[in-house]
Structure 1
Amino acid sequence: MLNESMIALFQQFFDQGGKVIPALFVLALILWSLIIERFYFIKVTYPKLSQRQIDHWSQRKDKRSWNAHKIRELLISKNNARLNLWLSSIRVLIAICPLLGLLGTVSGMVAVFDVIAVTGNSDAKAMSAGIYKATLPTMVGLCLALSALYFSHSIKQLVLKYSAQFEDRLTIRSNIHQHPQGVL
């Protein structure tokens, strides 16, 4: 549970980064929820689901007709759709992170230049706090995007691996390489 000092630390961080930091925090929650969901699905749910589909295919008597091939293609297509669910959303959220951080930097720099224009003071010490506040959102956005990019790539590699394995297992179970009556 969060104690008061940790809550104060988060509040200070949000205040230092401006209005974009809370938006990045919400974006991070959504992004990491999707990443964790995909890992959970691929590692826990998917093996049972794919095994049920392969068992269903194995119980079919007709595996070599045109209809059977189309059913097999449908199974592969549904399997790939399940594996790839949320991957494009994850990639879009990763792309938004640095852009949102950059928005925070631009708005922070505008505020710094506004203070300079109003006060007429270009003291470097006075501007340093504003520049820090302006660059913090970019750092947060880049760190979030880079860390999520690694896991997104890992998920994509798992999806490619499991998709190929599923297709191979259906092929082995159907003796698809043996063409009926020697004709394609």
Structure 2
Amino acid sequence: MLMHWLEPLAGLIESGGPVLVVIAGVAMLLFSVALERWWFFRFHYCPARRSLVARWLACDEHSSWGALTLRGVWTNELIAGLRGPLPWLRLLVVICPLLGLLGTVTGMISVFDSLSVSEVNQARAMAGGVARATLPTLSGMAVSVVGLLFITRLEHIIRREQQRLHDRLARAAEDTHA
């Protein structure tokens, strides 16, 4: 039963070559980090944000330079937790199209090599080989585009949370003085 499910995957790997396996590994890593970021935001960041607001409300002074600096440090530490994997995500997104190009070049080399050995001008065989050679490029670009969408969304969430946190702490300080 399991082998029946793996047959299309084996055919895809055979069509795309070993570079396609590497692209699939990078895609799994990229999507694992995306799932981890969702988990982090939901189960670590949100409770830490509530704790930070409670700590800020527990402070006696909210308007002095020292208090505002402390608030900035606390906020930056919390937001840095959200930003942590962004450089690695960007690296994975940049690597995907390059891996796809590598797969295309190696596939084209094998197509031209097989054509030189056969000594027969087979346009149909060459077209099939070119189609197989471009599969890694398509895969690398697709993973890269999805990764870019995720990075853009994560950066938007970080900017929004930074502004919300700043506004919430400022409003909390005003409410305690009023």
Alignment of 1:159 with 2:132, yes or no, is no
Aligned to 2:117: 118
In the superposition, the TM-score normalised over structure 1's length comes to: 0.88
Q: How does 1:80-99 map to 2 (within 5 A)?
A: 80-99=79-98
**What is the CA distance between 1:148 and its match in structure 2?**
2.3
Aligned to 1:18: 17
List runs of 5+ in structure 1 lacking aligned partners. 179-184
Percent identity, aligned pairs only, is 30
* C-alpha distance in structure 2 between counterparts of 1:35 and 1:157, whole Å: 14
Aligned to 2:48: 49
Aligned to 1:147: 146
CA contact (8 A) 2:93 2:144 kept: yes
Please give the root-mean-square deviation of Cα atoms over the aligned residues, in Å: 1.8
**What is the CA distance between 1:33 and its match in structure 2?**
0.6
Q: Give the total of aligned pairs.
A: 176
**What is the CA distance between 1:86 and its match in structure 2?**
0.9
CA deviation digits over 1:41-94, x for unaligned, max 9? 223432111010110111011222222122111012102201212122112211
Q: How does 1:99-110 map to 2 (within 5 A)?
A: 99-110=98-109
CA contact (8 A) 1:112 1:127 kept: yes
CA contact (8 A) 1:90 1:152 kept: yes
**In terms of mean alpha carbon deviation, does 30-39 or 84-93 score higher?**
84-93
**What is the CA distance between 1:39 and its match in structure 2?**
2.0
Q: How does 1:168-179 map to 2 (within 5 A)?
A: 168-175=167-174
CA deviation digits over 1:142-171, x for unaligned, max 9? 111122222222222111111110111111
CA deviation digits over 1:87-111, x for unaligned, max 9? 2211221121111111100111011
* C-alpha distance in structure 1 between counterparts of 2:136 and 2:151, whole Å: 22
CA contact (8 A) 1:39 1:155 kept: no
Aligned to 2:77: 78
**What is the CA distance between 1:129 and its match in structure 2?**
2.8
Letter in 2 for 1:131: V
List runs of 5+ in structure 2 lacking aligned partners. none
Higher helix share: 2
* C-alpha distance in structure 2 between counterparts of 1:66 and 1:99, whole Å: 49
* C-alpha distance in structure 2 between counterparts of 1:49 and 1:72, whole Å: 14
